[in-house]
Amino acid sequence: MKKFLLIILLLFIFVPVKADELAINAKSAILIEASTGKIIYKKNIHERLAPASMTKMMSLLLIMENVDSGNLKMDETIKVSKNASSMGGSQIFLQENEEMKVEDLLKGISIGSANDATVALAERIAGSEEAFVKMMNNKVKNLNLKNTNFKNCTGLDEDNHYSSAYDMSIIAKELVKHNKILEFSSIYETYLRENTNNKFWLVNTNKLVRFYNGVDGLKTGYTDKAGYCLTATIKKNNMRLIAVVMGEPTSNIRNAEVTGMLDYGFNLYQNEVYVTPDEVLGNVEVELGKDRYANIVVVKEVSSINKKGHKMGEITYDLNVKRLKAPIIKGQTVGSLTINEDGKEITTIDVTVDKTIKKAGLFEMYFRYLKDILSFNL
């Protein structure tokens, strides 16, 4: 009898969840794989809905792009304006004229969904929240998102402020490229102003960070208009999934349905990698280069998401590199790689060099020429 019950239990555990059983309470939902953008599950993905604080994913994306460009530094100290300090909703209770480093403000946004910290950084970057919101909507156009319009940088309910599950997933797809945000959004609890009299305990609004092993982000949201929203992400078995739900009735249902979506994705799909950026595809001579030869690599990983059990066909690679002449900068496009499966083209991707190669000096070229002559004569 015990063996019989065990068998029944195991069968129950491993019965696969069907797609139509996912996110049944959400107004809209989507599950994608981050590197390819492949949609694994969808429900009303283009419906325009209030995104609540998931709006801050776009704010964070612009902030990190400013960090990457050098316009903003993690250790820079920001003075908080009266406007930023007056923000309601989720906050870290910044005071007017208080000074806080960019890194700590980012923690406040990523972990605690702080409206005041978001506005403080928006004002630093663009001069005002209004100007920053224009930058957000310009980025929406650049990403070719059709169902998003922002009226503020925090996600507070406002007329004509909307997005969709699909658009949110694409913004998240861009944001997870910034490892620093994932470093912050994976923290469950920490302190701000720890060695001061104004110590603040910061607890992650995304409870899956603690209760679903491996979740390292990304953003929750709630308003009366939006209901309970969540964008969650996790990387496992060389595959990063992003799940978005909007308009859930409670936080518990929201978390449970996102958990079900992530389980569904990892149970049914696998990532098959064709080439990674650290793989050397070839070695090409560089005219006038300090380094005479350059290693050719792809600019990003190329992979495919397939259902488990899928058998990959014969993979072939066609590398085309143009004539190289120094100087060449790492990341600069120097040719292309075409990947084929069973003779059919899968994709074509740009290739670059694995390091910057400067132009050789006159004497370097002279002695290189002499060395070549002597080697030839020997």
pLDDT digit of tens for each residue in the chain (378 aa)? 545 444 444 444 445 568 889 999 999 999 999 999 999 999 999 999 999 999 999 999 999 999 999 999 999 999 999 999 999 899 999 999 999 999 999 999 999 999 999 999 999 999 999 999 999 999 999 999 999 999 999 999 999 999 999 999 999 999 999 999 999 999 999 999 998 988 999 999 999 999 999 999 999 999 999 999 999 999 998 899 999 999 999 999 999 999 999 999 999 999 988 999 989 999 999 998 888 899 999 998 889 899 998 888 899 999 999 999 999 999 999 999 999 999 999 899 999 999 999 988 876 766 666 776 776 555
Please name which of 60, 90, 67, 94 lies closest in space to residue 80, comparing C-alpha atoms: 94
Residues 72-111: b if buried by 16+ CB within 10 A, e if exposed:
beeeeebebbeebbebebbbbebeeebebebebbbbbbbb
- Residue whose C-alpha is closest to residue 154's, from 48, 51, 62, 56: 56
CB 356 within 8 Å of CB 330: yes
Residues in the chain: 378
Buried (b) or exposed (e) across 270-289, using 16+ Cβ within 10 A?
A: ebeebbeeeeebeebebebb
Class of domain 276-377 (CATH, top level):
mainly beta
Q: What SS3 class is residue 270?
A: strand
Copy the structure tokens of residue 316: 């072939």
Look at residue 9 in the predicted model and tell me its pLDDT. 41
Q: CA–CA separation, 192 vs 164, rounded Å?
A: 33
The rounded distance, in Å, linking the Cα atoms of 288 and 359 is 6
> What does DSSP assign to residue 309?
T
Q: Annotated active-site positions, please?
A: 53, 56, 113
Domain ranges, ordered by start, for the chain = 19-270, 276-377
**In the block, residue with structure tokens 């491996």:** 214
112-151 CB burial, b ≥16 within 10 A, e <16: bbbbbbbbbbbbbbbeebeebbebbeebbeebebebbebb
Question: In the prediction, which pLDDT does 372 show?
Answer: 67
pLDDT at residue 376 in the model: 59
Please indicate whether the domains covering 19-270 and 276-377 agree at the CATH topology level. Answer: no
Architecture field, domain 19-270: 3-Layer(aba) Sandwich (3.40)
